[in-house]
Structure 1
């Protein structure tokens, strides 16, 4: 619980992602960003959902280790793994790899695991949740896929399509109970966790 409603706990986002920062800004809460230093490689034989959950908590715990013992903070860790035909899909990095991803996924469904962890550095307790989003891609010709990529250059996004931007034109349907999960930070789940931790969510808004 926070020390008082007038002085809430520090809120720290354990992420280097600009997309997660932009999403957290929507809550109008004071927060800090500390980038965790962890190995994000999946473990051998690890299921995609398990990878996302493990890394979300690992990011939060890595940042919590650097917080002074006399302080308390709520640390937000998040990780997303996209899967297609049961295999994880990484960030393409290049135009050629992004085009290959979109070509393989057109007319098909892709599953995104957006894992979230809210860690209380005071006692080490953590709330964790995997928010699943299913996305069905339209069956579009190569020329349209290529034109989209050259317009939005989403090479740092798993799945090669930004649903919050022009990438929505590539999608036929999105099935999720948290619309922000696909972008990278499930805000419905996060606000639920913050309330459970006693954080004065609306009174702390700026």
Structure 2
């Protein structure tokens, strides 16, 4: 049986909360490295191996979203879990778009946190030595799509369409809904453009065999995960 203790990068600027969470996690036991700024968290990530990252969003120097972008740029596999007082839908979606695996709102249950950590660790270690399949990491601001560590540059339209579908996995998105949301119109010529972009995105997603864009003839599309 492996004696490996999971290594956690924990970035939280609230000293009291940081002490309580770290102390509790170390009793599980986990090996916890606690940083209080985004800059320190990034420096630590670059110089030490970790199995999972727990990131606050509102951090001094470098915020949690920026830190997550930096981590995802060099590692598309490591689980990232946001712990934040920001509870609105926009912030949660932004965190997930950046490649986070989950978003816990403060105050959170420490038991739930431990449960989620164990779930994500099992997912990444269930088949040691086998490269796990990853979800695409979409960076809207820089128009890039990262798959298995390979970054592709997208057009603005490709980015918009991909983001819209990623926000609605395993859900039928109607053609007219997608056209109005992205192009602001649903006429014939816009529809033909949409088909071109869907075709391009299918090719870009080809490296992930478990992720595909299905066409529901005459109705719309479903991003299957």
Whether these two folds match at TM > 0.5 is: no
The answer to which structure, 1 or 2, has the higher relative contact order (CA under 8 A, 6+ apart) is 1
Question: What's the TM-score once normalised by structure 2's chain length?
Answer: 0.27
Question: What's the TM-score once normalised by structure 1's chain length?
Answer: 0.29
Query: Which structure is higher in helix share?
Result: 2
State the structure with more CA Rg: 2
